[in-house]
Amino acid sequence: MEFFFELINSFLPHFRTVFLAIVSLGFLIFIHELGHFYAAKRCGIKVNTFSIGFGPKIFGIQRGETEYKISLLPFGGYVQMEGENPSEQTGAPGEFASASIGNRAFVVAAGPIINLLFGVLAYSLVFATGFDRDDTRLIGALTGMPLTQEDTSEDTDEDTNEATVQIGWVADNGPGAVGGLMPGDILVSINGDPIRHWSTFEIGVGTSPNRDLELVVERDGRHQTLTVKPEAVPGGIRGDIGKVRVSMGHETVVSKVREGSLAAQAGIQQDDLIVSINGENFYGVPDFSYEVWALSADWVDEKYKALYKQINENRDALTLGIYRGDEQLTLEIPVEWRVIASVLEGSLAKAAGIRNGDVLLKLNGAPIDGTTLYTQLRTMANHPIEIDLMRDGDLKTVTLASETESSETETKGVMFGLMWRTTLSGMQLAPKMAPLPEYGILAGFGKGLEASWLTCTAIGRTLQKLIRGEVSPKQLAGPIGITKMTGSIFNNLGLSSFIFFVGFISINLGIVNLLPIPIADGGHLLFFAVEKIRGKPMPRRAQEIVQQVSIVFLIAFFLYITWFDGMSLIYD
């Protein structure tokens, strides 16, 4: 019996994800059809059926000419109008085809318009009610809109009239370096598209493996045009992903100074902005945590290691260039490293008595070095380990039980559930963070309109790239992909991000339905335009053939995308 309970519990998160996706997508389709229904009623067109859901009827009532029903599959709904299909048209009053072109266009356009309006409403709600930094990252990724200091520089350029994004680390001999990108470059545009958020650059690079990109950067106050060719990195079932091996730049501030430390004695204060180390400018926050020294370290970690080595080359006098308000300072401090622990809940380290904030001093009697600690723990995984540490000025010794090679925590890159960061001479460094903006109802609505416009333009650019073959349809997401993203956003980011994402899907649904595809709403609008020009409708047989062919192509396209969505769940 216990086995079945565990089995059910293991599936519950997936059920919740599917339920959220069905409810959210179903709601968007429902309001889409509600727009058609309302417009048809206003125009005097007979509506035979308004259904919530699809498939067999569960419950229904007749009110006047319309049957309102609830169907088995709760995934949206549909509106059936009199004489909507060409084969059912008789020319009688009240039929869809008997209405004027203007009324028919209004009925058809009402569905997508409702989706667009809901997207604006959802966006505005998030802006007006407040959001956290995780929300800003999602908003930036979906719309390219910068909202905080970590997304954009404070400076603006009069020529572009856009906020700017800076390059941080650049891999030696990587595609970015080969193309001429340098640390500190301000990204202005990519293939003509302005860059206001790092995600715009990432998406442009990621969708262009082995294709030349034209990058405009600002360097020393002047614009330069570079050609960068991203390398192709295997990206799973959906194909290669472009990489140029550069990171986003961040300004580095002192987030904390330990009282009485070498940094405090040298006059370093919290919130000091550090711009150079030993006379060299840098544009990424130094990181000397446990991940840098793990076996899976990448090119960015190699940059951190090189900086660590540079700092250690003259341990007696580390020179820091600092901005404190409008004041520019140069301070020298001796180098002293401290290894500060953090532990995973339920881990062996936690059970042994190690706490977050403990200073790790010795490992089996030898002084601890943060650069080699990961390798030492991995080597000693099957043997008891003694760690001397300091907590609130008191010395303590703890013993770690052995950890097997198949330990769950090791698969996360964390031995014994023990993590650490290394502080420099008593100061902790972090990215500079600006306060999150706050908007009232009116300002929130304005930002919602702005974000909606940016979403529409981003969708337009993606469609252009699809037509030109610059983006593969394999990279699009269908219902399965949207379901996965919906659950991930709700579980990991929260309600505000979930609402924003639903608004994003609603705008996508509205735009796609307005495309001039014969079976879509935009296709009907195209037929109406042709009818207006010709002075009479297209032949009924021609409409039927076009719709039938369109259905076949759309089903094939849907299955194509769904196949890659499904395979991504298995292999990615």
DSSP assignment string, 121-142 = HHHHHHHHH---HHHHHHHHHH
User: 92, 98 in Cβ contact below 8 A?
Assistant: yes
Q: What is the pLDDT of residue 489?
A: 81
- Does residue 255 fall inside a structural domain? no
Q: What is the pLDDT of residue 409?
A: 44
Q: What is the pLDDT of residue 22?
A: 77
- Does residue 173 fall inside a structural domain? no
Q: Are residues 489 and 391 in the same domain?
A: no
pLDDT higher at 548 or 34: 34
Characterize 130-165 residue by residue with b for buried, 16 or more Cβ atoms within 10 angstroms of its Cβ, and e for exposed.
ebeeebbbbbbbbbbbbbbbbbbbeeeeeebebbbb
Q: How far apart are CA 225 and CA 203, in angstroms?
A: 19
- Does residue 191 fall inside a structural domain? no
Asked if pLDDT for residue 47 goes beyond 50, the answer is yes
User: What's the number of domains the chain is made of?
Assistant: 2
Residues above pLDDT 90, as percent of the chain: 42
User: 200, 211 in Cβ contact below 8 A?
Assistant: no
Residue 259's SS3 state is coil
- Does residue 429 fall inside a structural domain? no
Beta pairing class for 318-324 and 327-333: antiparallel
Q: What is the pLDDT of residue 26?
A: 82
Could you tell me the two tokens for 233?
Answer: 């990195």
Task: Give the domain extent around 406.
Answer: 337-424
Asked if pLDDT for residue 403 goes beyond 70, the answer is no
Model pTM greater than 0.85?
no
Q: Are residues 14 and 113 in the same domain?
A: yes
pLDDT in tens, 224-280: 999 999 999 987 777 789 999 999 999 999 999 999 999 999 999 999 999 999 988
Q: Are residues 487 and 565 in the same domain?
A: yes
- What number is the average pLDDT over the span 422-437? 89
Q: Are residues 415 and 495 in the same domain?
A: no
- Does residue 270 fall inside a structural domain? no
Q: What is the pLDDT of residue 152?
A: 43
Per residue, the 3-state secondary structure of 456-497, as one string, reads HHHHHHHHHHHHHCCCCHHHCCCHHHHHHHHHHHHHHCCHHH
Q: What is the pLDDT of residue 412?
A: 52
Q: What is the pLDDT of residue 155?
A: 38
Q: Are residues 399 and 518 in the same domain?
A: no
Q: Are residues 491 and 417 in the same domain?
A: no
Rg, the chain, Cα only: 30
| Boundary-marking domain end, from 424, 439, 460 | 424
Characterize 183-199 residue by residue with b for buried, 16 or more Cβ atoms within 10 angstroms of its Cβ, and e for exposed.
bbbbbbbbeeebbbbbb
Q: Are residues 482 and 420 in the same domain?
A: no
- Does residue 9 fall inside a structural domain? yes
| Boundary-marking domain end, from 380, 407, 424 | 424
Q: What is the residue-averaged pLDDT of the chain?
A: 84
Q: How many helices (H) and strands (E) does the chain have?
A: 15, 22
Q: How far apart are CA 201 and CA 401, in angstroms?
A: 46
| Boundary-marking domain end, from 402, 424, 446 | 424
Q: Are residues 13 and 115 in the same domain?
A: yes
Q: What is the pLDDT of residue 59?
A: 85
pLDDT higher at 8 or 299: 299
> Which amino acid, residue 494?
G
Q: How far apart are CA 568 and CA 239, in angstroms?
A: 11
* CATH number of residue 345's parent domain: 2.30.42.10
pLDDT in tens, 551-562: 787 778 777 777
Asked if pLDDT for residue 14 goes beyond 80, the answer is no
Q: Are residues 6 and 93 in the same domain?
A: yes
Q: Are residues 352 and 414 in the same domain?
A: yes
> Cα–chain-centroid distance for residue 46?
44
- Does residue 535 fall inside a structural domain? yes
User: 230, 213 in Cβ contact below 8 A?
Assistant: yes
- Does residue 555 fall inside a structural domain? yes
Query: 132 falls in which pLDDT band (50, 70, 90)?
Result: confident
Query: 473 falls in which pLDDT band (50, 70, 90)?
Result: confident
Q: Are residues 401 and 503 in the same domain?
A: no
pLDDT in tens, 486-523: 777 877 778 888 999 999 999 999 998 998 887 788 98
pLDDT in tens, 137-161: 889 888 888 876 444 433 333 333 3
Contacts of 534 (CB under 8 A, 6+ apart): none
Q: Are residues 414 and 502 in the same domain?
A: no
Q: What is the pLDDT of residue 570?
A: 65
